[in-house]
Structure 1
């Protein structure tokens, strides 16, 4: 028992050490010395009494976690990322089967993962050895005649090497960290003509054979069913959302069934359960049936490609089976902790992986909470109590993670798991059977595929119906690490894990009913007061890449959003839906009082429709210009919002935060002149107490000259016009507004060269302003009580 507890403690300590090391930099030699001291203490205690070594070991693993993380973040001297920013020729082997995506703008994009062997900078005469992996995005036009590279080919790619870079905002899934976990340290974009196959030798690859086999199955399904149904079944069997209608994904998310669209522990448990049921029908013994179930899990994991999430899911399933085989279900928590510890030792950065977090949290919930939850439902029908206990246990295990990443809790999931999940499980079992039968007997497999399509259509319709139920999902706020710790402590207290004989909720309510009731009421009242008590004003400059998006949250939590960012080049990535709306929810914004678009360009208004589809908007304020496609898309879906044309001198106030349109083409309230392009940009002044923010959109020199004729007042923070281009932020304008801080919203390594060096020089050398940039600092948040003002950045 001592050893079992030790495993759990050291796993928690190791994870905590990794997390702490990721917050700030540490002096590794000092950590190593401390680890040696703790190791010596642990060995000394082992000689005296085994039980006394738990705490030194726990401390040792805590320090070890910190050291592991620090070492993981150190790149070799020859790593390819050291050449970021240079134009180079990278040569290496194609690692894995290239991914192909239709772009929708004439052609397709291929994603290669390259194991780098050499690199040759543009001005160098010789190539040098290099290590690491590069993610290369190659655009092939429809008329390109060259054959794409295949797995195992050695290729040379000419282009500019770039650092990994994502949207640096809190609550966002960190794609950059995900790539680093795969050993990818740089990226590159190229055209098909920039890729040369050096050696066409293609070695045997089981992954390539598996990919070809999966593609043949998918093609067979597409021949007998709608493409969307085939994509859903493919996702359930092999994982991935490719080709699924986004409304279907949204419905599965709302109903809490989104995990079904990727291979998870639930899939492994289902496969194992079916195998064990079948084994019991043919009267196999307990041990043979468990062995057969283990083999089934391993085969399914290989079929799904042995991706890291699949491996983790398979391991979780194997843990449960081994516990049953050994009649040691009580040791499941220890086995889970040991598995997590081994995974983190192998790859410390897994701690930051959303798939790992959700898998571990859900499995821990099932292991620790299922039996007490089932006992609490004693007297309920078995067909209802079992699924409900599973859902409650798994959901409670991941609530803080769902709050941090998604801010939505699916209330309808309890119903969906009872009504829809059996049908989904039938699809998975029939689908796997159909896949195997089609491989041997195509005609028989085709019949099963047709039946699967009919069932899938019914499941999709039923899921959409449940998702449309009012309040089927509710907003939950992000609570952060401290709030998560409090949640799990309270959860443990409620479920009976209480040290020092602390009384539980039922004991307290029975012994001191009035005091308990009064305490509960007081806690609720304190939370309500804390929520409604005025807070400082916060102004957020969101990292939306090459675009603008500014969020103002007033003392009582009302929100004003100025611009929404937007994607370029026909990309299907909706910044409003995928970046801005999640950012708003992360900060507790579920409704917007005013959405102000400075003008209709894609990089300022392209995300507006996506935001409006997820966040309720009361008023939309538009510049006086011809409506662009981005604005038309917004208006097409925002029927309930009031549309307000912007005019110079327009003022509104929210919680003593004053918003003033100090400039907009079209003149005053009676003006009806329409401007176009950057000249249409409205300029908004946001004032609170002694401080003010000047939001200038894409205002250029001509507009700045016009502003100067109106005796524009100074500001504390200037949102620099046109992403810091040289045609904006002139010296006379800067001298007039005299900002202490300047914020530049620009995309990393953007093709426009923003911000321009001359603009930066005017801001720092001439004006002496403190400059923040979203491409370097990520999201930038200013907090002010009206007297003081403080800036904080996501990237430190």
Structure 2
């Protein structure tokens, strides 16, 4: 078998081993024994007849992948993450250039990466040596406050927190992403918690490059509009900071969002430019390739050497090596070597969305580009080439896009033909500008101005293309089995013929009637699957310290009760980045009713973000003074607002949603609560067949007592009020509600102590099965009206 095929199989086997080890638990000793047996078998086969050693060697790579995964997830006994939950004093060295983000006025948020070296827990007198990295977020209130710098020896005191994200299906696992960077814990607080022990006085190329980038960005901002400067900074160095949200949305809608972060496209552009110059100026091949390699390395360094940049640069360098060896046809082998090397170094990269998209798209270009060009041979070459690039890349990563984003940009084909060449020109001019600006600032500024004009054209074109109707289509997540079937069919269409299967054209020519019948049956099957009623599902989404409940009826109509929301001054939009992706993951393309129990930030803070991402038909609001989150929702777009009142009800697919109690019950409460509050929280009941769900928002004991006076019917599932606070879920209320299940939506390790032990004890005393989003992630109940099943995201 050819070397290329061996490398491809080895890489695939290693990746499959990592995936299987993550899916199921395996004894490490068993894997070691299996690896030893495969080593012996492989050596014996190689000695006897090397041609018969293929499968034992591939099996060895498979087991090696499993072993590497186990090694990667092991936590050392001296890791700093083992002290999470304790108040500690940590001494260490800042291992990265601090990231500074302005908040408002003089306030700044600084993110540090601390390499921990020593720790002293509260009450201890002796420091313990530790390993591992910590992410520290510190807020500086004064503009004159000077943050610590890279390389400084510092001490930090505070509560060490465990890493925790939003545990929902389809969500990008940010905890795993941090652990891949060696970060195992986090801290946050004010500037006084961190003190510099010894300033770093040595030479640091990271600091030099960071300062150089800052000077370049300052130069851009002096001659360009703020948004243009932010976009040029993004396409040259990566990062979305300072870019208007509408611009990011337009880039996403046109399939060009990858341009705003340094990736393989940027590396390929640099290599392509130098190769073109080499041909024009008649440089020798060795000199051209060497210059291109140096340019790739330099560009990777000034871009910050982030993992995606390193992967792209490594792939570019291996491709250049193939050019030197005059083996351009070895592109598949180069891809396999790069992927295998990266996975051996960091096995958990297999689960990284950036890794999946970058290598998937590159594989598409390697294997599908030329066949696609051949398919489009009758098209003009200026159109066939760019279209083939887009098709090859998009088809190869479609299941990944479906899983994480549930949408596909049809307009991306036009955008890659119309807009991408302009963006590439902007990148070339921008790179030339920053180089010239270093030597001749005036000349650099002229180039920046030209780039700004082109960026204006790019924004205009993307805005026009994004506004085209149906430019963005929904695609459902198809899972691992569906993805396997998809890639099997894709490979078959592109010429792979396992088991001597005939190709698509041959099938149609030889059995036209059978193919037509199969197409009709497939269409009927899909139609029945889509139209046939499914069970009711009620989702309690993990939104941290907040509430968000999604109800999907048998025919796919959706009701969203509350939207979560981050507390404090965080600019993280939980509605746009957690709730909306969750809804899209489950096929929700429109919300029939958005109900806000009350206007507090942790219940309504994500409403505007959700409404901006998904069409909302009706909004039910409590009769209270509109809070800032509700005002933001109403400003986001025209909405049909319905005031909530007690006794209100509507029916969707035999699912009855009723307002058991609204905030209009107590005029005294309404007058005393300036912008509403927990006391005016609406109570919603969702009924279907023999089961009902009681959603109580932040209802307090006073509100519960008011509800009991009306006669409260029993429920099957209770969403515990106020995140499990001791002032809610009283004994009389529990006796009347008599739930079999209870769901508590609370933030992991929240500062309020929710859920309170007294509340948990009251629930336990009645033998109510309790599910918690802070421990089990999203909780999904499924019912056909008779049976009821529950599935937590974390088992």
**After alignment, is 290-299 or 443-452 more displaced?**
290-299
**Alignment of 1:712 onto 2:712:** yes
Shift of residue 604 of structure 1?
Answer: 0.8
Shift of residue 66 of structure 1?
Answer: 1.8
**Alignment of 1:509 onto 2:508:** yes
Shift of residue 702 of structure 1?
Answer: 0.8
Q: Which residue pairs with 1:197 in the alignment? A: 196
Shift of residue 187 of structure 1?
Answer: 0.2
Q: Which residue pairs with 2:566 in the alignment? A: 567
Pair 1:559–1:361, CA change in 2 (3 A)? same
1:413-432 residue pairs with structure 2 within 5 A?
Answer: 413-432=412-431
Shift of residue 534 of structure 1?
Answer: 1.4
CA distance in 1, matches of 2:320, 2:125: 59
Question: Do 1:624 and 1:674's aligned partners in 2 also have CA atoms closer than 8 Å?
Answer: no
CA distance in 1, matches of 2:52, 2:440: 63
**Alignment of 1:464 onto 2:469:** no
Question: Secondary structure, in 3 states, of the residue corresponding to 1:49?
Answer: helix
Q: Which residue pairs with 2:43 in the alignment? A: 43
TM-score (norm 2): 0.97
Question: Do 1:361 and 1:398's aligned partners in 2 also have CA atoms closer than 8 Å?
Answer: yes
Shift of residue 105 of structure 1?
Answer: 6.5
CA distance in 2, matches of 1:275, 1:357: 28
Q: Which residue pairs with 1:697 in the alignment? A: 697
CA distance in 1, matches of 2:18, 2:789: 29
Shift of residue 100 of structure 1?
Answer: 0.5
**After alignment, is 409-418 or 782-791 more displaced?**
782-791
Question: Do 1:679 and 1:703's aligned partners in 2 also have CA atoms closer than 8 Å?
Answer: yes
Q: Which residue pairs with 1:530 in the alignment? A: 529
Shift of residue 178 of structure 1?
Answer: 1.1
**Alignment of 1:320 onto 2:319:** yes
Question: Secondary structure, in 3 states, of the residue corresponding to 1:666?
Answer: helix
Q: Which residue pairs with 2:220 in the alignment? A: 221
Q: Deviations over 1:129-179 (max 9, x none)?
A: 111110111111116x55321111110011000011111112122211111
Question: Secondary structure, in 3 states, of the residue corresponding to 2:748?
Answer: coil
**Alignment of 1:102 onto 2:81:** no
Shift of residue 722 of structure 1?
Answer: 0.3
**After alignment, is 684-693 or 151-160 more displaced?**
684-693
Q: Which residue pairs with 1:188 in the alignment? A: 187
1:365-380 residue pairs with structure 2 within 5 A?
Answer: 365-380=364-379
Question: Do 2:704 and 2:733's aligned partners in 1 also have CA atoms closer than 8 Å?
Answer: yes
Q: Which residue pairs with 1:754 in the alignment? A: 754
1:104-143 residue pairs with structure 2 within 5 A?
Answer: 104=104, 106-142=106-142
CA distance in 2, matches of 1:634, 1:300: 42
Question: Secondary structure, in 3 states, of the residue corresponding to 2:196?
Answer: strand
CA distance in 2, matches of 1:207, 1:461: 36
Shift of residue 377 of structure 1?
Answer: 0.8
CA distance in 1, matches of 2:768, 2:62: 42
Shift of residue 321 of structure 1?
Answer: 2.9
- 1:665 is aligned, of 653, 660, 663, to 663
Q: Which residue pairs with 1:550 in the alignment? A: 549
CA distance in 2, matches of 1:58, 1:791: 40
Q: Which residue pairs with 2:233 in the alignment? A: 234
Pair 1:201–1:267, CA change in 2 (3 A)? closer
CA distance in 2, matches of 1:587, 1:394: 25
**Alignment of 1:307 onto 2:298:** no
Question: Do 2:315 and 2:335's aligned partners in 1 also have CA atoms closer than 8 Å?
Answer: yes
Shift of residue 53 of structure 1?
Answer: 2.0
CA distance in 2, matches of 1:665, 1:443: 63
Question: Do 1:559 and 1:594's aligned partners in 2 also have CA atoms closer than 8 Å?
Answer: yes
**Alignment of 1:6 onto 2:6:** yes
Shift of residue 43 of structure 1?
Answer: 2.0
Shift of residue 544 of structure 1?
Answer: 0.7
CA distance in 2, matches of 1:30, 1:79: 26
**Alignment of 1:744 onto 2:744:** yes
Across the aligned residues of Structure 1 and Structure 2, the Cα RMSD in angstroms comes to 1.8
CA distance in 1, matches of 2:625, 2:436: 59
Question: Do 2:96 and 2:113's aligned partners in 1 also have CA atoms closer than 8 Å?
Answer: yes
CA distance in 2, matches of 1:575, 1:286: 52
**After alignment, is 520-529 or 86-95 more displaced?**
520-529
Q: Which residue pairs with 1:58 in the alignment? A: 58
Question: Do 1:666 and 1:674's aligned partners in 2 also have CA atoms closer than 8 Å?
Answer: no
Shift of residue 202 of structure 1?
Answer: 3.0
Shift of residue 685 of structure 1?
Answer: 1.1
Q: Which residue pairs with 1:735 in the alignment? A: 735
Pair 1:160–1:795, CA change in 2 (3 A)? same
Q: Which residue pairs with 2:477 in the alignment? A: 478
Shift of residue 44 of structure 1?
Answer: 2.1
CA distance in 2, matches of 1:525, 1:48: 55
Question: Do 1:438 and 1:445's aligned partners in 2 also have CA atoms closer than 8 Å?
Answer: yes
Question: Do 1:625 and 1:674's aligned partners in 2 also have CA atoms closer than 8 Å?
Answer: no
CA distance in 2, matches of 1:667, 1:114: 53
Question: Secondary structure, in 3 states, of the residue corresponding to 2:32?
Answer: helix
Pair 1:566–1:672, CA change in 2 (3 A)? closer
Aligned length: 792
CA distance in 2, matches of 1:700, 1:53: 70
Question: Do 1:567 and 1:602's aligned partners in 2 also have CA atoms closer than 8 Å?
Answer: yes
Question: Do 1:560 and 1:592's aligned partners in 2 also have CA atoms closer than 8 Å?
Answer: yes
CA distance in 2, matches of 1:163, 1:61: 34
**After alignment, is 40-49 or 189-198 more displaced?**
40-49
Pair 1:642–1:379, CA change in 2 (3 A)? same
CA distance in 2, matches of 1:487, 1:672: 56
CA distance in 2, matches of 1:538, 1:19: 29
CA distance in 2, matches of 1:146, 1:230: 26
Question: Do 2:596 and 2:604's aligned partners in 1 also have CA atoms closer than 8 Å?
Answer: yes
Question: Do 1:564 and 1:608's aligned partners in 2 also have CA atoms closer than 8 Å?
Answer: yes
**Alignment of 1:648 onto 2:646:** yes
* Structure 2 unaligned spans of 5+: none
CA distance in 2, matches of 1:53, 1:722: 63
Question: Do 1:316 and 1:363's aligned partners in 2 also have CA atoms closer than 8 Å?
Answer: no
CA distance in 1, matches of 2:180, 2:625: 47
Q: Which residue pairs with 1:786 in the alignment? A: 785
Shift of residue 388 of structure 1?
Answer: 0.8
Q: Deviations over 1:359-397 (max 9, x none)?
A: 100000000000000011112111111111111111111
Q: Deviations over 1:60-109 (max 9, x none)?
A: 22222222112211111111111111111111001011110112265111
Shift of residue 567 of structure 1?
Answer: 1.7
Q: Deviations over 1:244-270 (max 9, x none)?
A: 111111111111111111111111111
Question: Secondary structure, in 3 states, of the residue corresponding to 1:207?
Answer: helix
Pair 1:105–1:734, CA change in 2 (3 A)? farther
CA distance in 1, matches of 2:28, 2:36: 12
Question: Secondary structure, in 3 states, of the residue corresponding to 1:613?
Answer: helix
CA distance in 2, matches of 1:60, 1:534: 47
Q: Deviations over 1:290-313 (max 9, x none)?
A: 333222222211221222111111
Question: Do 1:649 and 1:662's aligned partners in 2 also have CA atoms closer than 8 Å?
Answer: yes
Q: Which residue pairs with 1:576 in the alignment? A: 575
Q: Which residue pairs with 1:724 in the alignment? A: 724
Shift of residue 667 of structure 1?
Answer: 4.4
CA distance in 2, matches of 1:734, 1:196: 50
Shift of residue 787 of structure 1?
Answer: 2.1
Question: Do 2:108 and 2:140's aligned partners in 1 also have CA atoms closer than 8 Å?
Answer: yes
CA distance in 2, matches of 1:619, 1:360: 42
Q: Which residue pairs with 1:291 in the alignment? A: 290
**After alignment, is 559-568 or 27-36 more displaced?**
27-36
* Structure 1 unaligned spans of 5+: none
Shift of residue 672 of structure 1?
Answer: 10
